[in-house]
Amino acid sequence: MKKVKLYTEPSHLKEKPSFATVAIFILLAIYTIGLFTPIVWAIVVSFMDKNDYSNFFGVSRAFNLGIKYTFDNYAFSWENLKILTTTTEMEYGIPDLLMHSLIYALGSAFAFTLCPVIVAYLTARFKYAFSKVVYTFVLITMTLPIVGSMASEITMLHNLKIYDSIPAVFILRFNFLSIYFLILHAQFSSIPQEYTEAAKVDGASNLRVMGQIIIPQSLNTIVTVFVLSFISYWNDYQVPLLYFPSYPTAAFGIYDFVQNASPEGNYIPIQLAATLIMALPIIIVFIIFNKKLRVSVSMGGIKG
């Protein structure tokens, strides 16, 4: 006798597309086209000869045969475009800006990740009364918005004689008052205490338990926090502008090349080439960590 397979409908039942569904699809399609069009236009134009490009021949000429495409804009930007700092009157080219960005983003991301990892581990694994105080304090600071402390923060750096240095910003970033503390706290809390007890029975110290048993189990979350922070600091240009103006970063370079273009750099293809060079590292990071980042954003949101 044939077995009858019971039909189970999937939880997202397929329906005929309604008018609303079609309308939302069209809106999303318009958004996608609207997002990609300037990006594709910028990439194509960045390869155009600077003399070949004019205001009335944008992408339309991209499909004409005989149009001259060149890497010269990228080579020219890399070698010639410079930023002059107002504080030290030193010139920095794109390689220098990328180096400043790398140091700032790596160091800040490391500090911004390390501190909540340590504090979240301590407060999650050691159920002291003080741990609860720390946790409650973080919740309060996230609930209570404080506006306009930037002037005071910069003044504090001046008073401590550490203004206009990148390592000083690492000190600022070494704090645990962020959503990532809560995420990591939940992560560390979910690991059974039996792991710790078993390790201690075998003679492991607290440091060893933390470094070799608990943290490796949360490495995925920690790496995601680090990557998200890295991207955020790489893209930031206002903090470098205000906190260490003598060491301009790539994001500030994009701003300065476009807003204060020198005569030789005042061509749209060259400016776009410089812009894309400086955005390339973050695009590579995005391609590598794409799925992990999208999961972490949703994780952070739920936890929030």
Partner 1 sequence: MRRSVARKINRKNRTPLRKGDVIFYVALIALPLVQIAIFYFGVNFQSILMAFQKSVDGVFIFDIGPNWNKFVADINTKEFWVMIKNSILVYIFTSLSGTVLATIFSYYIYKRRTLSNLFKFVLFIPSILPGILLVVMFQMFVSSGVPAYADLLFGIKMPDYFSTDFATSDIRFILVTIFSIWISFGGQVLIYTAAMDQIPNEIIEAGKLDGTTSFTEFIHIILPSILATVGTFLIVGIASIFTNQNNLFSFFRPKDMQNTEYTFGYYMFSIVYSGGAGSSGYCYAAFLGLLTTSIVAPLTLLARKLLSKVTS
> Which residues inside 167-226 make contact with partner 1, applying CB under 8 A?
171-172, 174-177, 205-207
Asked if 150 interacts with partner 1 (CB under 8 A), we say yes
Contact assessment for residue 196 and residue 125, using Cβ atoms and an 8 Å cutoff: yes
In 3D space, the residue among 110, 82, 111 whose CA is nearest the CA of residue 97 turns out to be: 82
Q: At 150, which helix (H) or strand (E)?
A: helix 150-159
Among 2, 4, 51, 55, binds partner 1 (CB under 8 A): 55
Q: Using the rule CB under 8 A, which residue among 66, 192, 263, 304 binds partner 1?
A: 304
- Decide whether 31 or 69 has the Cβ nearer to partner 1: 31
Residue with tokens 């409650």: 136
Candidates 74, 73, 44; CA nearest to 61 is 44
In residues, how long is the chain?
304
Mark out the alpha helices in 90-237 (DSSP H runs): 94-125, 129-143, 150-159, 166-173, 179-189, 193-201, 206-208, 215-217, 219-235
Single residue of 214, 231, 270, 273 touching partner 1 by CB under 8 A? 231
Q: Which residues pair with 57 in a beta bridge?
A: 54
Does 15 help bind partner 1 (rule: CB under 8 A)? yes
Q: CB-wise, 3 or 60, nearer to partner 1?
A: 60
Tell me, what amino acid is at 22? V
Q: Tell me whether residue 76 or residue 276 sits nearer to partner 1 (CB atom).
A: 276
| 105 makes contact with partner 1 (CB under 8 A) | no
Q: Which of 12, 86, 192, 202 binds partner 1 (CB under 8 A)?
A: 12
User: Taking the complex as a whole, how short is the minimal distance between the CB of residue 119 and partner 1, in angstroms?
Assistant: 5
User: Which of 144, 201, 203, 219 is close enough to bind partner 1 by CB under 8 A?
Assistant: 144
CB 257 within 8 A of CB 271: yes
Closest by CA position to 173, among listed 131, 231, 233, 133: 233
> Does 81 participate in binding partner 1 (rule CB under 8 A)?
no
Residues 255-294 that bind partner 1 (CB under 8 A): 255, 258-260, 268, 271-272, 275-276, 278-279, 282-283, 286, 290, 293-294
User: Does residue 297 contact residue 221 with C-beta atoms inside 8 Å?
Assistant: no
**Cβ contact 246:88 at 8 Å:** yes
Q: Is 87 in the site for partner 1 (CB under 8 A)?
A: no
Q: Does residue 145 touch partner 1 according to CB under 8 A?
A: yes
- Positions in 23-52 near partner 1 (CB under 8 A): 24-25, 27-28, 31-32, 34-39, 41-42, 45
